[in-house]
Amino acid sequence: MVVAPSSPPRAPGTSTPAPAPGGPAGTPRPRPATARRRGLPLAVAGVGVLIAGSLAGGVYGALTVETGAKKPPAGQEGPPPGAFPGGTGPVTNVADAGQVAPLRRVVPPDVLAVSSGQPISAAKVARLKKIAKVKDVIAVAGGAVQLQGRSINTFAVDPSVFRSWTPPGTAKKNELWTALAAGQFVVSSDAADQLRLSRGFPYPIVGQTMPNLTMGGSGPLGLPGIDMLVNAKTGRDLGLIDNVAVLVNAPGASPAKVAGAVGRSLGPGASVVDLNQKKYQAPGDGHGRSGSYLDLYKQAATTCPGLSWTVLAAIGQVESDHNRNPGRSSAGALGPMQFLPSTWKAYGVDGDGDGKADIMNPYDAIPGAAKYLCANGAGRGGRSLYRAIFQYNHADWYVQKVLNLAKAYAARYS
């Protein structure tokens, strides 16, 4: 918690000291390709093997469509970008949109696993939760569908829950998740660009059925090879396979070891990806903003010469476990970096350029923490760094905890 110089020390927090940054329709439709209600076959070819036409350089040669599914007829592929004034299409009426819970926390996924085509049983999911240091597991439906004549790996999710598992810049886009809850589809930034999709316009999605669905928006999804999201109802209509994939969050664990344990728990045929490998790290959101908590800490540290990003990451973990617990503390501190509102007035930063310095927004709070530390001499290192962290929270145990965590981050990400 950031404290003003006159504030008393705070009682020790309860966060786990383990390093883990993150952080409209109307066209007649052809008859569906098949009338039988069965899941789309999943043909995961394995990590590193790509399907022809993979959009984002993803890892799965996977999630193939039902045999006999046809390319959308000419004239049904939707408008190219810029075909309509403003380029964004009809405005979604909030009264008609689905309800979605506000973002309360962010859960950086460490491992993504996809089964060989069968649903992952509840017993296997329970085993995953017992792996050492695993904190969160989410199972999702999935399969491949056709969009604009291309095979698109797709997850069917609960928007209120799944948003927490996406990169921070995507997770905070309320309009994206509201559109998904309302039955629209969301795509990765790569898919939006390469398939020339325009937000607010309908496109035929070919699966077990062929609905015309509105494109509700795009952004980095942080999942290699997965380029589209639909809600659970749409997923059932399209014939996606229940619980075909899992995301695993394991703060402080060796991602490679967790990936190995996940693979052993799921058994032969499962494809498992360590999302902490550099080649899978989320890029920016297309607007010059970082795509992961790790990137946010690194970017913020550059504003204070001499300050290591590992110190910001350590404070972020101690204070809110990287925005998993950003609520008001007993002392009145708020947000991912736990600023007192009075201190935020002096050190708050508009880090994402939206015209607001938001204490609850990690894009603002993390550079705000860098500004506060820098003003107290953190960039000079040594005893000056110790005193700057002490100003953040007036307790020697707190300073020692932050410095030890910073060393752990440096060792893990060196």
Question: Is there a domain that residue 83 lies in?
Answer: no
Question: Is there a domain that residue 8 lies in?
Answer: no
Give the residue-averaged pLDDT of 176-187.
96
Question: Is there a domain that residue 41 lies in?
Answer: no
Report helix, strand or coil for 4: coil
Q: Is the confidence at residue 288, as pLDDT, over 80? A: no
Helix or strand holding residue 152 (H, E)? strand 150-157
315/223 same-domain check: no
How far are the Cα atoms of 37, 58, 115, 141, 225 from residue 46, in angstroms, in the given order?
27, 11, 10, 18, 12
The strand pairing partners of 215, in sequence order, are: 185
The pTM score is 0.58
DSSP category for residue 2: B
pLDDT digits (tens, 9 = 90+) for 238-267: 999 999 999 999 887 888 899 999 999 999
pLDDT digits (tens, 9 = 90+) for 323-373: 777 888 889 999 999 999 999 999 999 987 778 899 988 889 999 999 999
Domain range for 202 is 94-277
189/334 same-domain check: no
Q: What's the rounded Cα separation, in Å, for the pair 134 and 250? A: 4
pLDDT of residue 290: 54
270/311 same-domain check: no
- Amino acid identity of 151? S
Q: Is the confidence at residue 8, as pLDDT, over 70? A: no
153/241 same-domain check: yes
If one counts the domains in the chain, the total is: 2
Question: Is there a domain that residue 351 lies in?
Answer: yes
pLDDT digits (tens, 9 = 90+) for 97-149: 457 888 877 788 989 999 988 899 999 999 999 999 899 999 999 999 999 98
179/224 same-domain check: yes
pLDDT digits (tens, 9 = 90+) for 386-402: 999 999 999 999 999 99
Q: pLDDT class for 291, splitting at 50, 70, 90?
A: low
Residue 257 or 289, more confident: 257
**Which tokens sit at 267?**
């058994």
